Amino acid sequence: MLSQLTDKTYNLRRLTLTVERFSLLCRLFDCLPLIEHVNIEQQFPYVCDNDERTILSSYNYHNLVRLISFELIINCQSFDYTLFHTIITDMKYLTSLSFDYGIYESDINGYQLQSTLSSLINLSQLNFRLIIRNYLDNDEHLYSSFQTDYWHSLNICCHFDFVDQKYYIYTRPWTPTMTFAMTYETTLNMIPNDFGRVRKYNQMRGSTAVVFKYFPNLYELFINENALLGDMHFRLNMKYLKSLWFTGLSSTSSTEIIISHLRWILLRAPNLKILNVDFDYLVNCLNVDHHSYQIITLHLIGCRFDVAEKFTLIQPCFPVLEILSLKSSRLQPIDDVTKSLTYQTIRKCFLEFDQLISIKYSDKFDGSITNSYDSIINSYDSITNSYDSITNNDEVLSFLYNNLINDYKNVQLNLSGDRLSVWRY
């Protein structure tokens, strides 16, 4: 849509969006000359080629005289520091800057970043996380470059991850608008007060026990691939937690441990409203505990409709469910029986969930999380969850559409997005 913009708009002041390529920023700024607050995330990894570098480096960002707040999430390995420096130093009127940036260059240090930021003479608020690959094994030089008076005044934290061989440099206390992510907590010298403002956390590696100790006020929690489920048998009430992603955990954890930790979190999060979870994990959890949860939106990943009777376990535990998202398992066979069972399951869910408004069905799971740090970590060699696209998934979706359209007035089919949406009314 951005690529099709041509006319200038003078009324828009604040914009948050995800882009495929950063060069679209220039078109955006051309069309929104009076924009004041921009939050941009480049979500999926790609290669920034020479043509795009030319577009980005030659644009006159200093003409953005009304732009005072800029938040930038970079998920592009070829987005070098020279390009970053050119863009940021030219935004002379910024008063607030937030960025999450991973760098593969080995010679980046605190002196260079200080030079970049010092040009922003109006800057009063700064939040960032910088990830630097360790190529030269030069800890002392990198750490000393962040020990100047400039960095001391900004309360910077630095640590090295021995597992992933990366340096993490970030401001604290962390801004509540951006997700925080760490990988291996044993290398951290963490102070709980640093993270009291954190609202979103992505657990990519290490024990989940540290999350609830140092991040007591989480609103969104992502427990992802390679997370280790450590000892969590202590008193804690996650009263602020509203959204939980609990899926694709490391195979090193047994199913019993995974289920016990899912139950542990669910029972201690009374205000949880959004749950993303593997289908089998949830079914096994509910087999043990038939507790009732006030979940409004439920995303089930890896559903197998040849065991549709398992959905019977789910209904009594989610009495106020309004939105149900079903993502099919990659192991799901494609035949007439499966298609019929999937259709019957969708109809059965509408019949049994009294408050259900919409069901979304997909035959393809891409593993992506609509969250800034999950996407940036993916570009640093993390293993991500992925289900292969099912062969002939268009056939399944078309079958469901042709049958459900006779039962419900509002059915939408999106073959390009591999999904089907059905509304009760």
Tell me the DSSP string of 11-66.
Answer: S--EEEEEES-TTHHHHHHHH-TT--EEEEEE-S-----HHHHHHHHHS-GGG-TT
pLDDT at 130: 87
CA distance 49 to 238: 45
Please report, for the chain, how many H helices and E strands are present, in that order: 13, 19
* Beta-strand pair 410-414/419-423: antiparallel
pLDDT at 89: 93
Give me the sheet containing 96-103, strands edge to edge. Answer: 14-19, 37-42, 69-73, 96-103, 125-133, 166-171, 156-161
Domains recognised in the chain with CATH numbers = 1-171 (3.80.10)
Give all strands (DSSP E) within 271-329, no chain letters: 274-278, 297-303, 323-328
Q: At 270, is the secondary structure helix, strand, or coil?
A: coil
Whether 169 and 156 have beta carbons less than 8 Å apart is answered as: yes
Whether 243 and 220 have beta carbons less than 8 Å apart is answered as: yes
Distances (CA, A) of 301 to 262, 283, 361, 363: 15, 12, 10, 10
- 346 contacts: CB under 8 Å, gap ≥ 6: 326, 359, 361, 400, 404, 422
CA distance 162 to 259: 29
CA distance 387 to 327: 10
Whether 263 and 241 have beta carbons less than 8 Å apart is answered as: no
pLDDT at 62: 87
- 344 contacts: CB under 8 Å, gap ≥ 6: 308
Tell me how crowded residue 80 is: count the other CB atoms within 10 A of its CB. Answer: 15
pLDDT at 129: 86
pLDDT by position in tens, the chain (length 425):
444 556 788 888 988 888 878 888 888 888 888 999 999 887 666 778 888 889 888 999 988 889 999 998 887 767 888 889 999 999 999 999 999 888 877 678 899 999 999 999 999 999 898 888 765 555 677 778 888 888 888 888 877 766 667 788 888 777 777 777 665 444 455 666 667 778 888 776 656 666 777 778 888 888 765 565 555 554 556 788 999 988 766 555 677 878 888 888 888 889 999 999 988 889 888 887 788 899 999 999 888 776 667 777 788 899 999 999 988 876 556 678 878 888 888 888 888 888 889 998 887 544 433 333 334 334 333 322 222 333 456 778 888 888 888 888 788 877 655 778 888 76
CA distance 297 to 359: 10
According to DSSP, residue 94 is labeled: -
Sign, CA torsion 362/367/371/372: negative
